[in-house]
Amino acid sequence: MVTTMEVWGDSHMDDIYGTGIGARNALKYELNFRHDVKMLRNKAKAGSVVRDWIEPWAEQNPDDLADVLVVSSGFNEAVLVAWGSIKIQAVQDVWGFLIRMAQARGQKVLWIPTNHLYGRAYNEFPATTELAALPGVLGADVLDWSLDDERDLCPDRVHNSYTTSYYLAQDILDKVATYTKDDDETTKEEPEAVQLVSGSAERDSEVPGEGDR
């Protein structure tokens, strides 16, 4: 059985300016060697937070949804928290809505935890610690994966190194392959809609001194 997946999130699953930073190319490469996992789409976008893309994700045809929704988000939200642009509670509300809606539509949710132990996350954006744990609290599966040390980061001290992205891609695909579709079809109810506000009006997606995330 082939398990389908779709990726939504930030630069950690994207390819920043074609530099190879991010896991987009790593996922494409590793999928060449898999017969049990199929990528339907990778909609990750550098600089994004969940509230930026939750509406286009929700507007997809329910019949075209992947079995597994893979989400990478947390660092950019931690930046906004540090800047005072949003509160942790606002992040929790949007993340919780996403997870509940995905599950109601029959998707498994696999969240890639944001690094909070090394680099700029540890030194400048302490909210990464709470945000790394939050998806699990909200009911998503959180990938059992973390950096070993700061040498696994790029020189920007934010993004995973080229090699680390390939190890991460392997772990993601291995985990996705463990999911199987439910045998029994159940009636799915979507949670009540929430009002979503675009982050573009409140923030610049870049961290001062760094490239797009």
Residues 174-202: tens digit of each pLDDT: 999 999 865 444 444 545 555 444 443 33
Residues of the chain predicted below pLDDT 50 = 183-188, 190, 195-213
Q: Indicate the burial class of 170 (C-beta count within 10 angstroms; 0-12, 13-18, 19 or more).
A: middle
Rounded Cα–Cα distance for residues 64 and 87 (Å): 33
Q: Write down the pLDDT at residue 206.
A: 40
Q: Write down the pLDDT at residue 191.
A: 52
Based on DSSP, count helices (H) and strands (E) in the chain, helices before strands: 7, 5
Q: Write down the pLDDT at residue 200.
A: 36
> In one letter, which amino acid is 141?
D
- Which domains occur in the chain, in start order? 3-180 (3.40.50.1110)
What token pair was written down for 112? 């890639």
Rounded Cα–Cα distance for residues 17 and 109 (Å): 27
Residue with tokens 């642009």: 85
Whole-model pTM: value is 0.86
CA-closest candidate to residue 78, choices 133, 25, 28, 34: 133
Residue with tokens 């931690």: 78
What token pair was written down for 119? 């680099």
Element (H, E) at 57: helix 50-58
Q: Write down the pLDDT at residue 26.
A: 97
Q: Write down the pLDDT at residue 174.
A: 98
What token pair was written down for 85? 């642009």
Q: Write down the pLDDT at residue 188.
A: 46
Q: Write down the pLDDT at residue 207.
A: 41
